[in-house]
Amino acid sequence: MPVDLLHQTAIRWNDPDPKYVPLLREGGITAVLTSPDEDFEKACAAAHIQVVHEDEVRFVSLADASKADSSRAVVFRTGLWPGVHPGDPTEASATRGVWIDQNCYLVECLRALYPKVPPVLGYLPNKEAGVPPERSVPFHTLELALAEAWMCGGNFVMALEEWFRKSLLKGADDALAAWRKMGRTAAWLRENAAVFGQPLQRNITVLIENKDDLLEIANLAYRHNVSPAVVAAAEPPAPEPARCLELVAVGIETPAADARRRILANAEAGTTLVVDAPGAQAWWRAAGLKHLREDPDRDYYSLGKGQVVAYKEPVLDPSDLAFDMIDYVTEKRRATRVFNGNAAVAMAGGAVLYLLNYGRPQELPVLARIQGSFTKATLLRPEAAPQTVKIARRGTSSEVTLPQLERAAAVIFG
């Protein structure tokens, strides 16, 4: 049976020296991927740290994900190092928002596309992950990488950026402080594991395939706090218009007959179906489709109890599409919204709200909404004990105020 990396706090460790085992314990590490070393492994065993050799793990790219088998633990060698990405110094804008690199969408997409393979990420702090040699990343981003993976129901096999590794092994105060905070967050994630990874609200559901352009649509939807449920395009959901207000089928290949029937059945039942396959590729055209109106970019049709919004050309800007998704359900019906946190990503489960802050700790109150009518809420944070927070009704949503948002938080509603 392959080793279980989904429920461990795991790290790649290239210094198999017993003297580092106390440091690993301090960081909350429960498993290390390393080369064989008898003395190091004995010290790890005494500290209840599992040692995993690299030949016990298969590292795969997204292109090879479908070939993953169950003989070895699988780690997906993909992802971007999370955090606020530095902008281009040659560009200036008074209105441009911060650019965030996040992998919440990626974990959710892997769960949808490969449900039998644990969604464990294993990207490195290198050029492929957005960290070229000339860029050093803040120490706290390691904690962020771990938190976002766990909160979405996956995991991240951590790796230390070179400057962080050197500073940590030298005992630098700032590196040790970040490492201990990471250990605190790791313990919090394990203690509250049952809270994380719950299915997201389906009011906006996005159909995806393992293609770069579709993964980017999911990426920008999460970045702009659309908080969509993602579903494999080959297995579209059965109609449930009371929960699935909008089904986005932009950029997918022409679906097989059964999948096509199910997609169109969503619109017929009352869901808004969003497509962008024009002309001869318009697989969504069906009997009963009635043209209602058009604008420069889209045609609007009725179909049964619902509607079809059809872009006249293939969608090229996933950021604009993310905002359109919100427009189609309206601000009042979106799954979640965050105020006073421009570098925050929020995801709404049925009765739990996940919050991740990719920027500096927000010391001012942060307002967050979730779709649904609730009467109580409990705030969970790594840095504090559970706290009851008041709820304010905002139409069909419930709003809470977080006293601050450091890195990660979850609000459980009831």
The domain segmentation of the chain, as residue ranges, is 10-195, 204-333, 336-413
* pLDDT exceeds cutoff 50 at 391: yes
| Ranges 91-100, 252-261, 269-278, 325-334: which has the least confidence | 91-100
* pLDDT exceeds cutoff 80 at 88: no
Q: Classify domain 336-413 by CATH number.
A: 2.60.40.1180
Q: What is the number of other CB atoms lying within 10 angstroms of the CB of residue 143?
A: 26
* pLDDT exceeds cutoff 70 at 300: yes
Q: Classify domain 204-333 by CATH number.
A: 3.40.50.880
Topology (CATH) of 10-195? TIM Barrel (3.20.20)
* pLDDT exceeds cutoff 80 at 96: no
Q: Per-residue pLDDT averaged across 6-33, rounded?
A: 96
What confidence category does residue 97 fall into, taking pLDDT thresholds of 50, 70 and 90? low
What confidence category does residue 177 fall into, taking pLDDT thresholds of 50, 70 and 90? very high
Chain segment 228-274, per-residue pLDDT in tens:
999 999 999 999 999 999 999 999 999 999 999 999 999 999 999 99
Nearest-Å Rg of the Cα atoms of the chain is 22
Residue 89 has what pLDDT?
39
Q: Per-residue pLDDT averaged across 99-113, rounded?
A: 96
